Amino acid sequence: MAYDPRPVEPSIYKRWLEAGVFQPRPDAEPYVIVIPPPNVTDVLHVGHALNNTIQDVLIRFERMRGRAAEWLPGTDHAGIATQNVVEKRLKAEGKTRFDLGREAFVQRVWEFVNKTGNTIIEQLKQIGCSCDWTRTRFTLDPEYSRAVREVFVRLWEEQLIYRGHRVIHWCPNCLTALSDEEAEHHETNGNLYHIRYPLADGSGSITVATTRPETLLGDTAVAVNPEDPRGRAFIGKKVRLPIVGIEIPIIADEAVDKEFGTGFVKITPAHDPNDFETGKRHGLEMPLVMTEDGKMGEPGNEKRETGNVRVPADLVGVDRFEARKRIVKQLEKEGLLEKTEPHRHSVRRCYRCDTVVEPRLSDQWFVKMKPLAEPVLAKFRAGEYQIVPERWRATYDHWMENIRDWNISRQIWWGHRIPVFTCTKCAHQWADRVDPQACPKCGGSVEQDPDVLDTWFSSWLWPFATFGWPNETPDLKRFYPGHTLVTAPEILFFWVARMLMSGYHFMGQRLPFTTVYLHGTVRDTKHRKMSKSLGNGIDPLDVVKLFGADALRWTLIAGSSLGADVILDPQDLETTFAPGRNFANKLWNIGQFVLGQLPPQVPALESVDRRALTLADRWILSRAQAVIREATQSLADFRLDEAAKRCFEFVWNELADWYVEAVKPRLKDPASQAVLAYCFDLALRLLHPVVPFITEELWQKLPERKGELLATAQWPAPRAEFDDPRADQEFGRVKTAIEQIRSIRAEYRVTPKTRVRATIVPRGNDKAATFEGERDTIERLAQLERLTFDGAPDGVGAHAVFGDGSEVVVALEGLVDVKTECKRLTEEKERLEKQLTSLAARLTNDSFVSRAPQDVVAKEREKEKAWRDQRDILAGKLKSLGCS
Ligand SMILES: [Zn+2]
Ligand SMILES: [Zn+2]
């Protein structure tokens, strides 16, 4: 009978909500996870499903272990991303945000957010997330905004915020500055253009190489390394800048890379961060030659009809990439293009809209990060918090060690407005916790900075701003610091590192969590990241509809080992999620069977006389203690897949395939019922964090539940009195004997209905008593007519050796056609011997052994050994069948 999760899951979830089980227990030690807040515009994708299922497994595990489990949910206002979505909608109406004006536009975004912002929260419920929904936060909530402003003002007062005039990453599409992290590197095939700059004195030319020839309009010098002999004679001379026609100097600068191109580099201080530094060192002019939207022009110097000082009239307003083509063409025409080479290099793109970022000289607000990072890095090196898996340690350490100041101002409208005010009269500038009416110095009118803060400047406060900081709330006292942070490695620097810094800085040098668990990425079978644009995504809610949330969760958890990528096939949901669905079905069927056996009042394990327990009972009880220990340890070590697989093995194999089969004739026996009930209850508890719905549903059906919920039931503790190594060993031998007989039956194609005779000859530590005591079990599970212990049966038989050299012989007389079997086995043996002869010849050939790579030779030797073993097995079979 197949399990149908569809009616079960929503009603179970409702029950959990009504019982308030997701809220932390009032009087226990807390265990806290804060959710990586999804963007308020997000709809659930499979990456969210993985991230949140991992968190849910951990929080459910700790909840059952008796902790006050607080999984704090919420959403991020996602400045640029959300603004982009609303701007796109406006565009469809033929409008821009500037047509609406700031206030009306922000209003419009709020309307959008209020209407759709809850989507992802509702979707998280469908996959079973047990977040504390009573504490759901949004990064633009009034209280949260107060925390953001408080942090800004405090950093201002500590002089860790400053106005920087420098080249930053600019997105010409989003029309805002970006941080280093938001301007992502992409390896790109471009060109390296070698351009001749004629010397002003007419004595020839020098050549510079660039990937962005359009920026030459903004060149104010050519630089050469003073150590470079090729350039020495030219230092101090002037060149005539192509296209523009003005003269610029050749300067010496030690920062110039002698290995790049010709050794001469063009210096464009307003459009390249390194050139900006060079420009500062040499006091060069820094003209912009592009407008904010990535078109050629000279902001502040716009005379469109005549062109400007630097940008010719026919290039004004032309897009930068079109301008590149035209300039290259013009250079070619004038004989100034020496050559064009294909060139692979890194180009930065906006992480929100994928537009190529333009380096641009601009005034922005920055946070000095070194003082924030240093103590947090020291704590990391001292082992006070950990990053798993370990391979991220070096990357993190390096980034923290080389941390750069953080550009926090964005030229957009959706977000936390920067609380910096300037007096229009006396120019006094300050940061304020409340909006001031007038200048405190002269009473003049004030203007607020027009920009908003980087979204990450609010989310970096998530572990404490969500609990009411800066107020000393009871929640803050109880839930800070938290414990585990689960996220994708992509936001290690955007978010995780900064949370560690803000937590340490603002929360009394207490870090917000002790473990950062970085999980893998969900990819398709070609190992491509799943994305909307590639069309290779999987909608987790489709999976929930088809197979249930448990099947989705099972596949994600069992399929992802610590930090490794999860591979799913979007073309074949059926096969991809079959393991999860099959497991749910199996568990359901075992459950139906177990429930069918149990009386309304199951005897407690404690009340059972230990002497009434059979070997199988003692064995499964001992295995149960092992699975408790192993699953608990795996979950505590974040090896979620191992925990899931170990529980699977226990339920499917040890409990269902062996124990239940072994005790079937004794199921009316109270001892067996007590053992069965204990083991099944235990399995449901251990599996609950991974597959919460089906386990809760089955658990509710167990006798004597009295309204308790599995979600808050106790995590099982191992009971040492049931550890039984002897039972493990003895039942282990019985299992092996049965498996040996089964494999002989399969080998000789004995039909399942046919009962056969078999003999076991125990040797070494294998005692006859062990097998004799389980004669009935062995006979039943191996479909034997009779099991004896008195030597090999007469006539034809197949034998196998196991354990300490014990032997099992299965009588095959009259069951197999001996002649045909002998022929088949003889042919197989002959084939193997031929292969062995030629392999042996190769391996004794000196020229092969000495010339072939060592690992090839080693592989051949391994092969030889495997074939020999196979041949010996065949020889044994031929002998036991009596073939001549
Ligand atoms: Zn952008
Ligand atoms: Zn003033």
Query: Ligand nearest 411 Cα, by number?
Result: 1
What are the CA-CA distances from residue 710 to residues 584, 689, 693, 783 (Å)?
17, 10, 10, 39
What are the CA-CA distances from residue 194 to residues 207, 250, 684 (Å)?
6, 17, 70
Q: Looking at residue 821, what is its pLDDT? A: 80
Cα(293) to centroid(ligand 1), Å: 11
Cα(43) to centroid(ligand 1), Å: 20
Cα(153) to centroid(ligand 2), Å: 19
Q: Looking at residue 464, what is its pLDDT? A: 97
455 Cβ contact partners less than 8 Å away, ≥ 6 residues apart:
76, 77, 78, 79, 80, 81, 139, 410, 415
Q: Is-cis flag, bond preceding 579, omega within 30? A: no
Q: Looking at residue 360, what is its pLDDT? A: 93
Query: Ligand nearest 430 Cα, by number?
Result: 2
Give me 420's structure tokens.
């910096």
Cα(814) to centroid(ligand 1), Å: 80
Cα(351) to centroid(ligand 1), Å: 7
Query: Ligand nearest 441 Cα, by number?
Result: 2
Residues, CB-to-ion distance under 5 Å, ligand 2: 423, 425-426, 428, 439, 441-442, 444
Helix (H) or strand (E) segment spanning residue 718: none
Query: Ligand nearest 353 Cα, by number?
Result: 1
Q: Looking at residue 305, what is its pLDDT? A: 55
Among candidate residues 395, 177, 162, the one with its CA nearest the CA of residue 292: 177
Cα(446) to centroid(ligand 2), Å: 8
Residues of the chain with pLDDT under 50: none
Cα(438) to centroid(ligand 2), Å: 8
Cα(156) to centroid(ligand 1), Å: 28
Cα(353) to centroid(ligand 1), Å: 4
Cα(456) to centroid(ligand 1), Å: 16
Half-sphere exposure of 540 (CA within 13 A, CB side): 29
SS3 569: coil
Query: Ligand nearest 350 Cα, by number?
Result: 1
Cα(417) to centroid(ligand 2), Å: 21
Query: Ligand nearest 422 Cα, by number?
Result: 2
Cα(173) to centroid(ligand 1), Å: 5
Query: Ligand nearest 352 Cα, by number?
Result: 1
Q: Distance (Å, rounded) from C-alpha 433 to C-alpha 444?
A: 19
Query: Ligand nearest 173 Cα, by number?
Result: 1
Cα(670) to centroid(ligand 1), Å: 69
pTM of the model: 0.86
Among candidate residues 304, 302, 322, 321, the one with its CA nearest the CA of residue 313: 304
Cα(440) to centroid(ligand 2), Å: 7
Cα(602) to centroid(ligand 1), Å: 64
